[in-house]
Structure 1
Amino acid sequence: MLHKSPIIEWHGLHIDLSVILMLVVSCLVVFLLAFIATRNLSVENPGKLQSFMEWVVDFVKGLISSTMDMKKGRPFLSLGLTLIMFIFVSNMLGLPFGIVTEYDHKEAAHIFGKPIISVTEEFDKLQAEQATTGEHEEIEVGVAWWKSPTADAGVSMGLAIMVFLMVHFLGMTRNTKGYFKHYIQPYVFFLPINLIEQFSKLLTHGMRLYGNIFAGEVLISVLLKLTVLGWGGWIASVAGLVVWQGFSIFVGSIQAFVFTILTFVYISQAMETHDEH
């Protein structure tokens, strides 16, 4: 069984505390990397972190220039740097380790004076099942506090929605005529199809990131559970984790790259006329 998220209710809203925690950690890691890399800049003898950040800047510039004219794209350099670093760090956070707390009765599932409703609901569900089947096994519910924030659909779709709104705002303000005209191209009855295309871009932009990272963390959870099978399970678990951790770094890097370059592609499409594409 997958671990539950620590969800509490606050003024009618269901808040996932693990997502908030991991978003704060991701932001702090990105900020510290940028701060340390730029603290002692040197032209003659740059440090390793400064050299790495310079490579990231050049890499993002390459992404921009591959999708639009660099004069138009230069203002989006900081956006690209923020996106690729934040998403990469977020994708990596769930790989090294996890923090899980176990609850054996729902009265203990409280934090900040509020019940963890995901745990209490699971206890009620399992107790109802036991009452139906007549079983009386001890119930334990695990809560995962440390995970990749991009493994949460709300975070990934939130990033996609922010990009979606920014892209269409840029299209309406910087390429007004061309932006609205493309919805009725090549013919006016293509309007519904073009509208569906825009919302499909939103869904695929966010869900691609979420699906890949979430699937990776599910597989890690499955591999960890192999340890209950004895020494053979331990060996299979360790071997599987080593292989999958390495592959997950590759997948996390690719997903950060894909999300960022698609952002620039959508910006380019919104800001340029049909003839410039």
Structure 2
Amino acid sequence: MHESPMINVGGIDFDLSIIIALIVSCAVVFILVKLATRNLSVENPGKLQNFMEWVVEFVQGLISSTMDYKKGKPFLSLGLTLIMFIFVSNMLGLPFGLVFDYTSVEKATAFGQPLTSVVDGLAKGSHGVEVAWWKSPTADAGAAMGLALIVFILVHYLGMVRNTKSYFKHYFKPFFFFFPINLIEQFSKLLTHGMRLFGNIFAGEVLIAVLLKMSGVWYGAIASVVGLIVWQGFSIFVGSIQAFVFTILAMVYISQSLETEEDH
């Protein structure tokens, strides 16, 4: 696999490829929503408006399947943001890749800072270090777990603020000594929520990188082209499913945190 363009600022390592991809994802989602809602029309809606209406109805259906819609309506914006942002992020690494081969430390800089991944690689005796500047942000464990952590914090905040009695009481069900198990369950939800997204997208990009490396010989090039076409199509399906799964799990966790004894 290629190295990431890492720089160290104030003792903290930053992956520039992830930062760039996150900014692009936010920009793409913002532009899509802006264009879709720019000229709203009831009689003659445009294609983007129809698409956005379909997305809204789809997310409304997700919320309704996990909780009473009156209770879940305030989370419609959250669901829309999650599913659109994650879908766009999952797709970013599919169209192309930007990989540069660095052979000297002097050229391996960004924003006046040396690329630590290149410096370390060359220090180990490598003749060159390949750095990937473009990939899906969700193919990074830190970005995927960051999204899961945002949902995790929101879920428990809502439980403590809006459903205080039932929220704390459920940690001791069905018996008091189940508290450690229920506590572990909450943190396992955080781990599986983020790692499921990361694992699926990362695996897809690893396979794409493997297929690209096969193009060194003519028969490998033919096989890699066919493999890339097939895998790109499958990756779109996987990326869509993972955006759906992440969003509906977020709604399920929110529903559970707001669930009262009267709801049973």
TM-score range, shorter chain: over 0.9
- The CA deviation at 1:122 is 1.1
- The answer to whether residue 208 in structure 2 is matched with residue 240 in structure 1 is no
Paired residue for 1:268?
255
Summarize the alignment of residues 247-262 of structure 1 with structure 2, pairs less than 5 Å apart: 247-262=234-249
Letter in 1 for 2:93: G
Summarize the alignment of residues 171-190 of structure 1 with structure 2, pairs less than 5 Å apart: 171-190=159-178
Paired residue for 2:26?
27
Alignment partner of 1:140 out of 97, 111, 128 = 128
- The CA deviation at 1:126 is 3.2
Identity rate, percent:
71
Kindly tell me the number of residue pairs found equivalent between the two proteins: 264
SS state of the match for residue 105, structure 1? coil
Summarize the alignment of residues 18-97 of structure 1 with structure 2, pairs less than 5 Å apart: 18-97=17-96
Q: Could you tell me how far apart the structure 1 residues matched to 2:54 and 2:212 are? A: 36
Paired residue for 2:158?
170
SS state of the match for residue 131, structure 2? strand
Letter in 1 for 2:259: E
Contact 1:175 1:272 in 2 (8 A): yes
Q: Which runs of 5+ in 2 are unaligned?
A: none
Q: Could you tell me how far apart the structure 2 residues matched to 1:208 and 1:125 are? A: 33
* Deviation sequence 1:86-142 (CA, Å, 0-9, x none): 000000000000111111122321122111001111111235xxxxxxxxxxx1211
SS state of the match for residue 18, structure 1? helix
CA RMSD of aligned residues (A): 0.9
Letter in 2 for 1:76: F
SS state of the match for residue 146, structure 1? coil
Letter in 1 for 2:47: K
Letter in 1 for 2:260: T
Change (3 A) 1:273 1:126: farther
Q: Could you tell me how far apart the structure 2 residues matched to 1:275 and 1:25 are? A: 44
Q: Which runs of 5+ in 1 are unaligned?
A: 128-138
Q: Could you tell me how far apart the structure 2 residues matched to 1:275 and 1:195 are? A: 23
Q: Could you tell me how far apart the structure 2 residues matched to 1:52 and 1:249 are? A: 17
